[in-house]
Amino acid sequence: MTAQKLFLERVAEMIADVDGPVLELGLGNGRTFDHLREILPGREIFVFDRAVTAHPASIPDGDHMIIGEIRDTLAYCGPRVKRPAALVHCDLGTGDPTADLAKAAWLAPQISERTAPGGYVASGIALDMPGFEEMPRSADAELGRYWLYRKAA
């Protein structure tokens, strides 16, 4: 099992007592979406991407697939998502430090706005998150290159 899978399974346990949906930022080939819906049965998962390129078996239904530039869709998804998220999983890293810094600048406040008190943000890009605690990086987080933040309850 990969470090990413182990990490997401630990985070799934952490949100057990937090109400709200999961926001999956970046469908890609649907690998982490598949894993999240398997380990979080019954939890509503909204997935964001500018395009849908995953295998049909790894695509959410139309009500839960939010297509477009995340900078626009995350800001205006409130009427559709309705509740603040228990978990935001952000898999939008490019590997380019400058592009990732630029992305983090607009992403962090938008993610913060969408996260429930006590909710978690798991991100492949380091984010400046006032009002959140940065959780210690476990071995699987380190290997999976994840940062984990928890919003004050």
27 binds ligand SAM (CB under 6 A): yes
29 binds ligand SAM (CB under 6 A): yes
5 binds ligand SAM (CB under 6 A): no
- Min separation Cβ 69 and ligand SAM, Å: 5
**Whole-angstrom distance, CA of residue 42 vs CA of residue 45:** 9
List the x/- string, 53-82, binding to ligand SAM by CB under 6 A: ----------------xxx-----------
- Of 86 and 104, which CB lies nearer to ligand SAM in the complex structure? 104
HEC string for the chain: CCHHHHHHHHHHHHCCCCCCCEEEECCCCCHHHHHHHHHCCCCCEEEEECCCCCCHHHCCCCCCEEECCHHHHCCCCHHHHCCCEEEEEECCCCCCHHHHHHHHHHHHHHHHHHEEEEEEEEECCCCCCCCEEECCCCHHHHHCCCEEEEECC
2 binds ligand SAM (CB under 6 A): no
- Min separation Cβ 17 and ligand SAM, Å: 25
**Whole-angstrom distance, CA of residue 83 vs CA of residue 122:** 18
- Min separation Cβ 153 and ligand SAM, Å: 27
30 binds ligand SAM (CB under 6 A): yes
- Of 103 and 150, which CB lies nearer to ligand SAM in the complex structure? 103
| Contact residues: ligand SAM, CB under 6 A | 26-32, 49-51, 69-71, 91-92
